[in-house]
Structure 1
Amino acid sequence: MEHVPPPAEELARLDRELAELDARRAQLLTRRAWLLAALRPPAPTAAPGWNPSGWGAPHGAPSQPWGYVPKQPSAPRSAQNVLLTLGGLLLTIAAVAFTLVSWGSMGIGGRSAVLAAMTLGALIAPAVLLRRKLAATAEALAALALVLTLLDVYAVHAVAAPGTDGLGFTAVASVVLAALWTAYGLTLGKLRLPLPAAVVLAQWPLLFWAWAAGAPALVVGWALLATAVLDGTIALRGKGTGVRVTACVGGSVMGFSALLVGLALSMTASGPLGAVAPGAVLLAAAAAALAGAWRAPKGFAQLGGVVVGLAAVAAVGGVPVAAVPDAWHMPAYLLCGLALMAVVRTRLPRNATRGVLAASGAVAAWALVWTLPPLATVLLGPVTLLSDVWAGAPEGFRSALGSTLPWPEQAGAPVVLALVAGLLGSAYRWWPSVVRITAPLAARVETPGPDTAAGTPGTAWTAPPGAGVPWYTAGGAGARRRPSGAAVRGAVGAGAVALGWGAFLLAGALLDVPYALAVAGETALVGGLLALAVRGTGSDRDATAAVPVTALVAAVSGAVSVGVLSLASEGASYAVFGTLAVLFAGAAVRAGGCLVDQGRIGRGVWCGASQGAGTSSSRSDSGVSATPRGAVPGVADPAMIDKTPPRAEVPRAVFAVAAVVWATVLTGFAGRSLGLAPHEAAPLLLVVPALTVLLGARLRRNPTALPVELTGATGALVAVGLAVSDEPFLALVLALCGVLAAGAAVRPERRPAAGYLAAALFVLATWVRLAASEVSFPEAYTLPVTVPALVVGVLRRRRDPEASSWTAYGPGLAATLLPSLAVAWTDTDWLRPLLLGVAALVVTLLGARYRLQALLLLGGAVLALDGLHELAPYVLQVAGALPRWLPPALAGLLLLMVGATYEQRLRDARRLKDALGRMR
């Protein structure tokens, strides 16, 4: 009889055998791979000069057989360079050691003979090596020869001319060495080191000569400038990349040093005549840079133009700066910088002209940065008044700012802002003329032209700004995208608005106008900015939203600043915030949602939807024509309007929100004037939220309604925060907020959010009122929630009979039954458990009668737990009297009975489940 193992044992045996087979398979595959590699014949090695691919012959080389390539050197080029560098370094160290250490142990003849022989040999050897085509070795020996010539100069000064001046001797030696290495480099043209070395040596003669002669700083500046001019000439006409790069670096360093010397002397001049000589240095540097920019490539030409512009500003502006007080230095430089823009009418190369214009912009930007500290002081200085509100109006504007800024030294700041603002405003006003003048400076981009289809690349010019089309070429992937003319003009206009606003603010602070005049002036300025923001871009087809948006931002910032400034006086506070509320509310009404992107959908658009009319009008050159609602003149697809309302309504929403904020602040002032405590003044703050609810009902689905109502809700939240310190007032404020939320919930579009909010606020108000009255019964807190919840559930079931009972009645019943049950388990009295049991019994019977699952289960569970709580003492008492073996015996008997009737009990459970499932 065959033995059959158990399944588990047999499965384990099969797993072990499969694992052994896998391991053996892996070994066999590895051995097979090794055998295949051993049997494969070796790949044929290409002989020197043979390339199986047949590619790699340089263009223009003599034709070679297929696959031929030149032989490669036996040693890598990097190893050769390392060996040559190391050898040259060791020889250099030996030469230095010989010169410094062993020099004194030899006679004059021996010394001269050794140095001369070493130098002469190092100079001759590269020529011999070049004829043998050993260029790298020749370069290494040329470097050694350079070091030896420097050591020769040191040796000559130390022995032959020890009494001569070191700086003068160095200047002469630099000239001699520069000439020597120039001739040597020109003779051995294949060496790359001698000519750049000659350029480096040529940097020092004039500078060391000026130092040796004890020349003043002005002469040193001229020496530096002359050296920079020499470097520029070499950079333009020199031979080889190394020479030109070295000359560019040297010229940049020397020229920058000369400019620094001239600028320092110009700024420290004692008078206009003393600034003329440094100005001459700066003008000469500008002329040299201009000459270089005339012939330099694009990038260097633009950099040269920048140098020309900055040097000219420093030279010309230094003369009047030396004659005026410190406060007017920056305006003088700014005028010179703005005068540079006349370069667009000259015949300078385009790239150089761009550089000069960039220099003009840099000067203007520097001047604007200089005005930032006083401007920030004017805007942020009134914040100091927050610590002592209504302490009394100060005498002047400066005293209200609370700043120690030296105002006399900032007298030129508003002039700077006004100059730049006037220039930008003029450019914005006469933009077509600006475009016509600057058209030659438009950049050219390489794009597929008309001949592209035929295979010939074309060249296209970008359209100038303001030409009615985007300022970039759309054809081809290589076109560089540039901002449109309308965008550039909008940025110019926005800058004019912002700088003009800053100029007005600074002028008042510098003149130290009376406090009342400063407050009135800033408020009027806010009104003007609002008018500009509402007016938008007028009827200009190419205008963008930059100007009105900038005016809007400036208006809001100015309103905050003047609002804080007005806190010094009670009357000023009411006047300013009342005026601001009226101005912003009027701007919101005047805007009417019609601040649309006129650059996208046309000009002269009247929003009929916001006006409430059935038609809209469009004013054109030919007259006024009626247009149906939703249609826009000049737009073929009315669907474009659907994309603009969110963007169009942003300014109006900002106006309306700001008006709500200022009105809320006014109500806070009323509470302070009446002498009310913060919690007593809290109900007053709800006046504005109530008005916003009414306004929201008037606006309905207008996009402005939601921001206005949310701002009003923020004011209500502030009122709640003020009332937190007093519970009765907090309950009152919460109840009033609940009334406002319920009023908003009347509207269908606000009902989902406002309805729940109103219910939560009413419940919170009730709870706070009960807590203030020291009521501790939980039913007093839960029943005000349960009753409205059940009423809502009944209404919901009446409207939708298919709604679940858990959704309709579950939350309301749980809000009271569960907290009462938790308290009843710890209550030693009999009244609460009795009342809870009766209520749970009623709920259970109602659930069984109307077949409501939530009522049946919740009521039954609470009733069972409440009854268990009441029977628990007796159960414990009975359990203590029974024998200890009786509970296990009863449990076993119960299990036997359930097991014997298992199928019947299962069917009963299923029927119970089905019955509960049929309930709602």
Structure 2
Amino acid sequence: MAPAVTPAALRSMTYLPPPAEELRFLDAELRRLDAHRARLLARRAWLVSVLQSAPPGPAAPPFTGPTPTAGPRPEASAPRVQNVLLLLGGVLLTIAAMAFTLVSWGHLGIAGRAAVLGTVTAAALAAPVPLLRRGLRSTAESVAGLGLALTVLDAYALHAAALAGTDGTAYAAVATTVLAALWAAYGTALDALRLPRPAALAAAQLPLLLAAVAAGAGPYGISAALLLTATADAAAALLVTSPALRTVRIAAATGAYGMGGWGLLGALWLSWTAPGPGAAARAAALLLPASAVALTAAWRTAGTADSDPAGVPSTTGAPHAPSGTGAVGTANTTGPTDAPTAFGAASLASPGRPLTTTLPTATALLGALLLLAALGGLLRVVLPGGWAVPAELLAGLALLAALRVPRLPERVRHGVAWASAAVQGLALLGALPLVAVALFGPLGQVDRPWSGAPADARDAVTVHAPWLSHSGPALAVLGILAAALALPVRHAAWRPQALAGAAALAWAAVLSLPAALELPYAVGLLLFGLLTVAVLALPVLPPAGTVLALVTSVDLAFLALADRTATLTALSALTGLYAAASARSRWAPVTAPAALAYATALACATGAAAGWQASHTALLVLVVPAAAVAVAPRLAATARVACEVTGAAAALVAVGLAVTDAPVLALVLSSLGVLAAATAVRPDRRSAGYAAAALFALAAWVRLAAWEVTAPEAYTLPVTLPALLVGAWRRRRDPLTGSWPAYGPGLAVTLLPSLAALWRDEGWPRPLLLGSAALLITLLGARHRLRAPLVLGGAVLVLTALHELAPYLVQFADALPRWVPPALAGLLLLALGATYERRLRDVRRVRDGLGRMN
């Protein structure tokens, strides 16, 4: 029952919103609740009808007590326990048979031996028939496994008893062949058993290998036996398609990969170490059939993987004509994705893809690599001087022609593209050492500047690094890769990246060309300069391509260090080139700082060439920060910051050069202060005014030090007066500014160094002047109620007075009795304690008064 609403409560209600609006809101809510109730009632009626139509179940027993707790759950299912028991039984029986054959065999005669072996083996092999009829399949599998093991023991016993004089390896080859055939026939006869046929395949892995070992075939024969066995396994895995023979297919695939892997390792090693064309041809004869088998297997599995469960080929597997090929497998197709197949192949290796999707690609990759390895082994022994690498690279690029075959499944094309990419990557990796020597070799000229022009470009880059052999093939590799990227790739999505990569490879080739061909030193310098200009003018490179031009120019500058004229010429040309290139706004963040850096180097080199002192060269270097101050406002934001940073670095160089000559250093610092003040005129660089003030102060201090002025006031007053004027101007513009930020730094700059010098000065002028100044500052602080002048002035005044009274205080202390200081200290402590007690008494009195008020 709802509580009654009193009239007072009704009068206290505030109608927000108005009553009419609130009434409409309540009506809408009631309608919503009625609709929801109607839906719930309809659902309830449906549930009742379902329960009424269900067949009646057994009546539940009445609840008479607490629900019993469930018993412990079994940790293994009944079929699993059964299989474990059967497996253990078969193993134990096999062990017993082995013990009998090895230990008790000699106690029986020939008839007894034959009777025992024949009876037990026949019984074990025949027992699965009645067991299968009774539906005991697992037991039949265990007994059949025992029978197969007994046949192995039979073969061993036969050799030990009747054929002991024959070669063991040859006998094992024959025995495994016979056992494989017998087991296969046994499994075919008893089709319900799953063990015999995979066991027959396992036994079939050994005959060829054992026969090759028995015949003394050598590494070529053993590799051939392994590869032939793997080929037979692959054929079995591809031909067996029945779902009932899944274990046979798995065993065949395992044998193909296992035996084929060992065979391929041996064949690849033979190809790599072949001493002549004959040995390389024999190794290639092993690798080429293996390649054909792998490619065939990839084709077959790709045809299966490209179909959906209904047998309809998917769109990704449908053949379509490629539109172009390129280096690193950049083959393009016109299929639904319209993307390069090699780059699309990377997605096939993702964890979410099924094995049937990645297996064809991996197998095709293996087959293509084996084909290239066979060809590479032949080329290595035929072509001299490392030219096998460019030839192998051309073969890898030619392999991409297979991507234009329309009937070739797409996943096979992916594998071929990845194989070509692997060959291209290895070839590029082999060419990188040449590029590294050409790139970093010029840095060796740093420790011997202007020592004379080298004999040729190779001597210029091998100051501290040995030259590499086979530089010609490495150059060819770079050129081939550049051409492969620039020419075949026509797809609009990949064309810019391909052109950029081709330009980078061509740059590396041209960079290495002078040293590789032993061109004259002057020709090498000219080629580096032309390469810098070409990279800056190349339209296909993105703005980041200016880094290549910058690296080339740095190499040119270091190479030119060997000769004075070459240094001045190269630095002048680079300064002008980068200054002109800064007109392009997108390159200015790199080219403008580079122009300033080369201008700095040119100024230093000019001073050194003219025989100037380092301090005089600093005046010439000042032109660079002046140019940075003049040019920076005309540049974009990013380029402006880079230009200013480079100008600041040049200023530090000027300071470092002038540090040994105080008058010139003062001139340099004051000049830099003028430049900083000019920068501070810009609204976005007001903070440069602080740097200008600091530079002017440093310049004044250096000048005073050059004049051998020792008074600190000569250094501090030129800073204090402007600082106080700036503080007064700041407080006038912003009255809320405190006295500490306004006047504190300016006063402390003079007062504190003078106070420190006071305690080392025995004269009277400094104490008088410092005390007077401190008194004046204190009075001004008191007059205007400013903390900073009052505190600093008062503290300095007191310390100055103590300094003047210190001798008298010492004399007075010597005149006092020894008991006076302890007595004074005791009185001080008593006074403090009394004050503390009085404060506590006042607190208690206030607390009691508040308590009485409550």
Correspondence for 1:565 among 559, 569, 576: 559
2:595 counterpart of 1:670: no
Q: Kindly indicate whether the alpha-carbon contact (under 8 Å) linking 1:742 and 1:755 is maintained by their aligned counterparts in 2.
A: yes
Correspondence for 1:254 among 254, 259, 266: 259
**Which stretch has the larger CA shift, 143-152 or 200-209?**
143-152
Q: Kindly indicate whether the alpha-carbon contact (under 8 Å) linking 1:210 and 1:219 is maintained by their aligned counterparts in 2.
A: yes
**Which stretch has the larger CA shift, 580-589 or 190-199?**
190-199
Correspondence for 2:646 among 705, 708, 711: 711
Q: Kindly indicate whether the alpha-carbon contact (under 8 Å) linking 1:682 and 1:733 is maintained by their aligned counterparts in 2.
A: yes
Correspondence for 1:495 among 501, 525, 539: 501
Q: Kindly indicate whether the alpha-carbon contact (under 8 Å) linking 1:497 and 1:550 is maintained by their aligned counterparts in 2.
A: no
Structure 1 residue 826, shift from structure 2 partner:
5.8
Correspondence for 2:402 among 319, 338, 343: 343
- Structure-1 separation of matches of 2:213 and 2:730: 100
- Structure-1 separation of matches of 2:698 and 2:187: 95
Amino acid of the structure 1 residue aligned with 2:713: E
Q: Kindly indicate whether the alpha-carbon contact (under 8 Å) linking 2:441 and 2:465 is maintained by their aligned counterparts in 1.
A: no
Flag structure 2 segments of 5+ consecutive residues without an equivalent: 1-62, 306-356, 840-854
Q: Kindly indicate whether the alpha-carbon contact (under 8 Å) linking 1:407 and 1:510 is maintained by their aligned counterparts in 2.
A: no
Correspondence for 1:592 among 585, 594, 607: 585
Alignment of 1:215-234 (within 5 A): 215=217, 217-234=219-236
Taking a change above 3 Å as real, the CA distance of residues 353 and 892 of structure 1, as seen in their structure-2 partners, is: closer
- Structure-1 separation of matches of 2:837 and 2:443: 87
2:182 counterpart of 1:168: no
Correspondence for 2:691 among 743, 753, 757: 757
Structure 1 residue 164, shift from structure 2 partner:
2.1
Partner of 1:368: 428
- Structure-1 separation of matches of 2:275 and 2:824: 115
Flag structure 1 segments of 5+ consecutive residues without an equivalent: 1-38, 49-70, 436-465, 467-484, 538-546, 594-650, 903-920
Amino acid of the structure 1 residue aligned with 2:453: A
Taking a change above 3 Å as real, the CA distance of residues 336 and 847 of structure 1, as seen in their structure-2 partners, is: same
Partner of 1:854: 788
Structure 1 residue 895, shift from structure 2 partner:
7.8
- Structure-2 separation of matches of 1:118 and 1:723: 106
- Structure-1 separation of matches of 2:547 and 2:829: 83
Partner of 1:308: 367
Partner of 1:418: 479
Partner of 2:680: 745
Partner of 2:293: 288
Q: Kindly indicate whether the alpha-carbon contact (under 8 Å) linking 2:438 and 2:512 is maintained by their aligned counterparts in 1.
A: yes
- Structure-1 separation of matches of 2:806 and 2:109: 125
Structure 1 residue 812, shift from structure 2 partner:
0.5
Correspondence for 2:779 among 828, 837, 845: 845
Amino acid of the structure 2 residue aligned with 1:394: P
- Structure-2 separation of matches of 1:725 and 1:40: 107
Taking a change above 3 Å as real, the CA distance of residues 704 and 164 of structure 1, as seen in their structure-2 partners, is: same
Correspondence for 2:250 among 245, 251, 255: 245
Structure 2 counterpart SS, 1:412: helix
Alignment of 1:465-544 (within 5 A): 466=492, 485=493, 488-532=494-538, 535=539, 537=540
Structure 2 counterpart SS, 1:326: coil
- Structure-2 separation of matches of 1:697 and 1:511: 46
**Which stretch has the larger CA shift, 385-394 or 88-97?**
88-97
Amino acid of the structure 1 residue aligned with 2:258: V
Q: Kindly indicate whether the alpha-carbon contact (under 8 Å) linking 1:498 and 1:550 is maintained by their aligned counterparts in 2.
A: no
2:332 counterpart of 1:332: no
Structure 1 residue 888, shift from structure 2 partner:
7.2
Identity %: 49
Q: Kindly indicate whether the alpha-carbon contact (under 8 Å) linking 2:561 and 2:567 is maintained by their aligned counterparts in 1.
A: yes
**Which stretch has the larger CA shift, 91-100 or 685-694?**
91-100
Structure 1 residue 162, shift from structure 2 partner:
2.1
Taking a change above 3 Å as real, the CA distance of residues 321 and 873 of structure 1, as seen in their structure-2 partners, is: closer
- Structure-2 separation of matches of 1:319 and 1:575: 51
Structure 1 residue 653, shift from structure 2 partner:
0.5
Taking a change above 3 Å as real, the CA distance of residues 240 and 784 of structure 1, as seen in their structure-2 partners, is: farther
Amino acid of the structure 2 residue aligned with 1:672: A
Alignment of 1:384-403 (within 5 A): 384-402=444-462
Report Cα offsets for 1:505-551 as digits up to 9, x if no partner: 3333222111111111121011101101xx3x5xxxxxxxxx32463
- Structure-1 separation of matches of 2:502 and 2:110: 79
Q: Kindly indicate whether the alpha-carbon contact (under 8 Å) linking 1:427 and 1:492 is maintained by their aligned counterparts in 2.
A: no
Q: Taking structure 2 as the reference length, what is the TM-score of the superposition? A: 0.75
Partner of 1:62: none
Partner of 1:11: none
Amino acid of the structure 2 residue aligned with 1:369: L
Taking a change above 3 Å as real, the CA distance of residues 353 and 107 of structure 1, as seen in their structure-2 partners, is: same
- Structure-2 separation of matches of 1:102 and 1:149: 17
2:382 counterpart of 1:323: yes
- Structure-1 separation of matches of 2:834 and 2:280: 119
Structure 1 residue 762, shift from structure 2 partner:
3.2
Structure 1 residue 504, shift from structure 2 partner:
2.0
Q: Kindly indicate whether the alpha-carbon contact (under 8 Å) linking 1:844 and 1:855 is maintained by their aligned counterparts in 2.
A: yes
- Structure-2 separation of matches of 1:866 and 1:787: 22
Partner of 1:809: 743
Partner of 1:68: none
Structure 1 residue 102, shift from structure 2 partner:
4.1
- Structure-2 separation of matches of 1:40 and 1:856: 95
Report Cα offsets for 1:159-189 as digits up to 9, x if no partner: 3222222332222122122222223334444
- Structure-2 separation of matches of 1:261 and 1:901: 102
Structure 1 residue 139, shift from structure 2 partner:
4.7
Correspondence for 2:155 among 138, 153, 162: 153
- Structure-1 separation of matches of 2:125 and 2:509: 70
2:577 counterpart of 1:583: yes
Partner of 1:867: 801
- Structure-2 separation of matches of 1:120 and 1:580: 95
Taking a change above 3 Å as real, the CA distance of residues 307 and 815 of structure 1, as seen in their structure-2 partners, is: same
Partner of 1:553: 547
Cα RMSD for the two superposed structures: 3.7
Structure 2 counterpart SS, 1:395: coil
- Structure-1 separation of matches of 2:836 and 2:165: 126
- Structure-2 separation of matches of 1:93 and 1:82: 16
Q: Kindly indicate whether the alpha-carbon contact (under 8 Å) linking 1:182 and 1:198 is maintained by their aligned counterparts in 2.
A: yes
Q: Kindly indicate whether the alpha-carbon contact (under 8 Å) linking 2:295 and 2:368 is maintained by their aligned counterparts in 1.
A: no
Structure 1 residue 332, shift from structure 2 partner:
1.2
Amino acid of the structure 2 residue aligned with 1:655: T
Q: Kindly indicate whether the alpha-carbon contact (under 8 Å) linking 2:380 and 2:386 is maintained by their aligned counterparts in 1.
A: no
Q: Kindly indicate whether the alpha-carbon contact (under 8 Å) linking 2:475 and 2:512 is maintained by their aligned counterparts in 1.
A: yes
Amino acid of the structure 1 residue aligned with 2:681: V
Structure 2 counterpart SS, 1:427: coil
Alignment of 1:426-437 (within 5 A): 426-428=487-489, 431=490, 435=491
Amino acid of the structure 1 residue aligned with 2:497: A
Taking a change above 3 Å as real, the CA distance of residues 869 and 291 of structure 1, as seen in their structure-2 partners, is: same
- Structure-1 separation of matches of 2:162 and 2:791: 119
Alignment of 1:77-92 (within 5 A): 86-92=88-94
Q: Whose relative contact order is higher, 1 or 2, with alpha carbons under 8 Å and at least 6 apart?
A: 2
Taking a change above 3 Å as real, the CA distance of residues 838 and 493 of structure 1, as seen in their structure-2 partners, is: same
Amino acid of the structure 2 residue aligned with 1:335: L
Report Cα offsets for 1:298-351 as digits up to 9, x if no partner: 322212221232233334455555432132101111111111111122121111
Structure 1 residue 579, shift from structure 2 partner:
1.9
Q: Taking structure 1 as the reference length, what is the TM-score of the superposition? A: 0.70
